[in-house]
């Protein structure tokens, strides 16, 4: 079985975290884990190929944002919230709060546009 690299808490870099969270698909994955807890890779509802999803999951893991646990044939992802809050207090919460507000604004705008049609 292949061992997966997870950086030690002290080795998590702000630049890597911000880079990983800058992609909308990766941010959506993080938000979904935040809302629902640990999840299997196959449970993510993202409009991309499986191979592309694997690359996004790898970027999140190697940045220190997620932890991947292998259970049989599944890979279960969880957030490393404690590690991130220790290194960068409040960063993850602020990013997820902003992401949630942005999604709500987009959904409201789309609903408004549908009503105006």
Domains and CATH numbers, the chain: 12-116 (1.10.10.10)
Distance between CA 46 and CA 35 in Å, rounded?
15
Mind listing the pLDDT tens digit of every residue in the chain (117 residues)? 578 899 999 999 999 999 999 999 999 999 999 999 999 988 988 888 988 999 999 999 999 999 999 998 899 999 999 999 999 999 999 999 888 877 766 666 667 666 765
- H or E element at residue 15: helix 14-21
Two structure tokens written together for 18: 């911000």
């Amino acid at each position: 079985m292949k061992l997966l690299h997870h950086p030690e808490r002290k080795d998590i870099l702000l630049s890597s975290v911000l880079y990983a969270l800058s992609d909308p698909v990766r941010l959506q994955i993080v938000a979904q884990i935040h809302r629902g807890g640990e999840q299997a890779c196959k449970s993510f509802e993202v409009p991309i190929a499986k191979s592309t999803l694997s690359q996004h999951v790898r970027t999140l893991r190697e940045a220190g944002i997620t932890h991947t646990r292998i259970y049989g044939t599944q890979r279960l992802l969880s957030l490393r919230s404690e590690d991130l809050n220790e290194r960068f207090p409040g960063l993850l919460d602020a990013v997820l709060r902003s992401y949630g507000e942005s999604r709500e604004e987009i959904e409201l705008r789309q609903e408004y546009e549908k009503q105006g049609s």
